[in-house]
Chain A
Amino acid sequence: MDEKNDFTPSILYGLCNWCGTGGSETAGALHLQYAENIRPFRVPCTGAIDPVYILRALIEGADGFAVSGCHPGDCHFDQGNYRARRRVAVLKTLLDTFGLDTERVWLRWVGHGEGKRFADTVNEFNDHIKNMGKNPLSQRRDT
């Protein structure tokens, strides 16, 4: 095992109350294994995730932040996931503008019943962040 894969990234996973968390429950019910270093961050709706939360996580120690909620059209609150998508789009554009790692933020919809999709997303994101290495922003004392 090389040095890169030795590192356990700290990852936050913003999950909405209805679909994202439901996906994780389904994954549990199906006995699907997924990386254990994921910290679920449960919100009433992905629309409640302000980009500032994501930024704060990335600046203060997280290596990656994933967001999962209901598929478009399925939002419990009708439009919350569209709001999340617009906000993530703005955040990713800003990160890109200033040359900070855009790929440390992922947005992928996971439905309530999609346990497999949830476990796959967690594992894929975890490996992806492992390959990217530590988040340089979180290592700086002058932020």
Chain B
Amino acid sequence: MTALDEVNMDNEVSMNKGIWIEGPVKKGILEFFSGLLSSKKVEAVLMPAKNKSKDSYAWFLMGKDGLLESAEPFPPVMTTQGARALSYLTKKGTAWKKTAVVLRPCELRATIELAKIKQVDLNNLVLISFDCPGAYPLEKYFNEDQKELDEIFGACLSEQVELEGARAVCSICHRFTGRGADIEIGLMGGEAKGFWLIPGSGNGEELLEGVSGSKPDNLEAREKKIAEATIQREEKRNNTLDSFRETVMGPENLMNTLSSCINCHNCSRVCPICFCRECYFDSKALSSEADNMLQRAQRKHGLRLPPDLLLFHLGRMTHMSISCVSCGACEDACPANVPVSMLFSLAGRNTQAVFEYEPGRSIEEPVPYKVFRFEELKDFETPYTKEYAKEQ
């Protein structure tokens, strides 16, 4: 099934169900939320808001108490991964107030992955996502003229073109729409200024009841545009990752790529998928006596300390690359400019392909590590073909 067919299938469900709202996007969205809060359809909203010092964004759980004015549903950077923020809210149980959450598409996918491993409880949550043009690297945003960057981002958002100067993973993102959310904020394919609110589930439909706006007439054009862009972006993604792979192939290249790593483990701290309370790589299992280190140093003619650099990165890939949503939070957090997000996107693409799995595609699809089949993966076994005759 091609991406086009998939989109067309979804199309039948969502066609002519959306609501078109004219006017500036951000203002319209915030009005929509205050409407929801006033009518008590939702009792809390979780979305990023601008910090008081106005130079960054943080996630806030807010009610109808004035915070909403400073809220920024479409921040130009990803400070904390939304799924991570959300898991703080619900990992110990259902939120007892109905809460609406605004997430980037990658954050939405990570949320779905986390729900599968019981780190997010989707009950009582309304997930809202939008067509994302990408995000700036945190470092760039903090060091360059923010006003100018904000303006460029705003223009890219409403015109739905790819963001220039976006992070490496954003420029190869192929799942850039809010499909799969309870409510999808449609920006792509709209003619004049304005946006669609498209329900993606019964839950979303309920919330959209009574919202005033015109019926959309060109949702079909939107679907077509998305399908085209998806195919284009998929190709770009594969090509970029393939050529990136060439530069990290083999022990020499791989170690050169990782050599600036300072073993801070920030990439796993900020990763939405790395949810373990105690990470194996931070645990006592890897700490050993001087004797052990000295022996290793003798064997390898020297030992880099802190040790286990390659083990950390490759090991983390075996643990979570299957669920990697390519959000790029790892690279934003890396102080040493290691292209972590590209490494993990590449690893993720290949490991996910083994199981034909796509993280965040559907909540119904179980994580491959939890599925077992009698007959599968024959290629990875070494067949016992004949009685082996030992070399003399």
Contact = CB atoms under 8 A, between A and B. Distances in A.
A82 B370 CA distance: 10
Chain A, interface residues (CB within 8 Å), range = 35 or more
Contacts of A117: 384
Contacts of A108: 381-384
A142 B301 CA distance: 10
B318 A124 contact: no
A91 B318 contact: yes
B318 A99 contact: no
A99 B347 contact: no
Contacts of B391: 5, 127
Given A52-B311, A83-B369, A97 B346 contact: yes
Interface in A57-108: 59-61, 72-73, 79, 82-83, 85-94, 96-100, 106-108
Given A94-B317, A108-B384, A116-B387, A79 B346 contact: no
Given A107-B380, A138-B300, A143 B315 contact: no
Given A86-B377, A99-B250, A60 B304 contact: no
Interface stretch (B27-35, B89-97, B251-259): B251-259
B237 to A, nearest CB: 15
Chain B, interface residues (CB within 8 Å), range = 35 or more
Contacts of A93: 350-351, 354
Contacts of B350: 93-94, 96-97
A124 B299 CA distance: 26
A135 to B, nearest CB: 9
Given A50-B280, A91-B318, 7 more contacts: A93-B350, A94-B321, A99-B249, A99-B254, A107-B381, A136-B251, A137-B310
The 4 tightest CB contacts between A and B, nearest first, are A82-B372, A99-B249, A141-B302, A51-B318
Interface of A: 5, 50-52, 55-56, 59-61, 72-73, 79, 82-83, 85-94, 96-100, 106-109, 116-117, 120-121, 123-124, 127, 136-143
9 contacts: A85-B377, A89-B380, A90-B321, A90-B322, A90-B354, A98-B314, A109-B381, A137-B310, A143-B304
